[in-house]
Homo-oligomer: A and B are copies of this chain.
Amino acid sequence: MAQHFAVVARDGSTRARAAELVTAHGTVQTPAFMPVGTAASVKGLAPWELGRLGPQMVLCNTYHLSLRPGVDAIEGLGGLHRFMGWDGPILTDSGGFQVFSLADRRKLTEEGVTFRSHLDGSELRLTPESCVETQRRLGVDVAMALDVCPALPATRDELERAVATTGRWAARCRAALPPGGPTYLFGIVQGGLDLELRRRSAEELQAIGFEGYALGGFSVGEAPPLMWDAVSACAPMLPEDRPRYLMGVGTVVDIVHAVAAGVDLFDCVIPTRNARNGLLHTSRGPVVLKQARWKLDPGPPDPACECPTCRTCSMAYMRHLYVAGEAAVVVLATVHNLHFYLALMREVRSAIMTGRFAQLRARLAAPGTAGDEET
């Protein structure tokens, strides 16, 4: 068992596990959901509001931060934690996903990828070495290796080449950020829905050796059941004694199925983006703020919720703020939705530790359950 990661409980009937990932900025109790703070800010939340929500770890986007305000600025200001006023664990993505989504504005070579900034059109280059160096300089707790995310739909040949390049780049990332420092490095398994390629990718990465392993290239348009099956097949390909991270996923149902497969870490924009679009995740299912049915409702958004929003605001008030275009509704809805996700993860962890995960999974994965909506 690695020193930085310890499984503390296992579910009896699934591969679900509760674990602890020890970082330089605190211990991440898993399964954990990471709120997305793309540009060093979880949209709408003051740093103290994020602190009060108490996520185990926060995700920031290397691509966005590299372009603005730039890694020199953040490093010079004492690193990303101090910059954004968040003293807990931070994971950054590699920037690869954003660059590869720039489609016609990027060019891939063995050395790396050249692209044009979405801000000013300037030409920039991302290599495995520069990618991890940037994340190391940001001072994050977990850096992600640079991977190749093929545009979909992709042929098997394209997927195979992506896996091969991802493997070679992963080795270069590891060489640029050897084990032992305060910043962990996670490798990213690619291969789409092709399990043979996924296995090859997972084996290549394990041969290199990382502090954790991620499943990339999921939740990119495939039907959820296909993803659930693939994740169930792929998670066991990753070592038992390292954290497993399913990138960019997902809905409550997605998360519960992935936890059952043995995944430990998640990030997704769903709770925060839905909040901005006026959709609340609640124990009674999704709630759309703009609906006229809430106009006179004196009850809280979620009677079962103990977040500051539900303790303070009626649905009538929430709807009023949304309809009137009042900025406070973004704060209130974001606080609620993140609290909902974080409380869910605490409940999942507790269920694993007390042998109740199977029941919880059955309840949460039932059709029409909370959070299974995306705006």
Contacts and interface: CB of A to CB of B under 8 A. Distances in A.
A84 B309 contact: no
Contact of A328 (B46, B316, B317, B323): B46
Contact of A327 (B73, B316, B327): B327
Given A296-B77, A314-B77, A335 B46 contact: yes
Nearest to A297: B77
Nearest to A328: B41
Given A78-B298, A328-B44, A313 B85 contact: yes
A314 B83 contact: yes
Contacts of A273: none
A332 interface: yes
Contacts of A85: 312-313, 317
A308 interface: yes
Interface string A127-161: 00000000000000000000000000000000000
A157 B99 CA distance: 68
Q: How many copies does the complex hold?
A: 2
B47 A326 contact: no
A321 B48 contact: no
A131 to B, nearest CB: 21
A178 interface: no
Given A46-B312, A73-B296, A321-B41, A330 B327 contact: yes
Contact of A83 (B295, B317, B330): B317
A176 interface: no
B324 A39 contact: yes
A68 interface: yes
A332 to B, nearest CB: 6
Interface residues of A, number: 44
A319 B45 CA distance: 16
Interface string A277-315: 000000000000000000110100000000011001110
Nearest to A276: B327
Contact of A295 (B73, B328, B332): B73
Given A41-B328, A73-B296, A77-B298, A48 B312 contact: yes
Given A39-B320, A314-B83, A317-B83, A328 B78 contact: no
A79 to B, nearest CB: 12
A40 interface: yes
A73 B324 CA distance: 15
Given A39-B320, A41-B324, A85-B312, 7 more contacts: A43-B327, A43-B328, A46-B312, A69-B323, A76-B296, A77-B316, A327-B330
18 contacts: A39-B324, A40-B321, A41-B324, A41-B326, A43-B326, A44-B328, A44-B331, A46-B49, A46-B309, A46-B335, A48-B308, A73-B295, A73-B296, A73-B316, A77-B296, A77-B317, A84-B317, A327-B330
Interface of A: 39-49, 64, 68-69, 73, 76-78, 83-85, 276, 295-296, 298, 308-309, 312-314, 316-317, 319-321, 323-324, 326-328, 330-332, 335
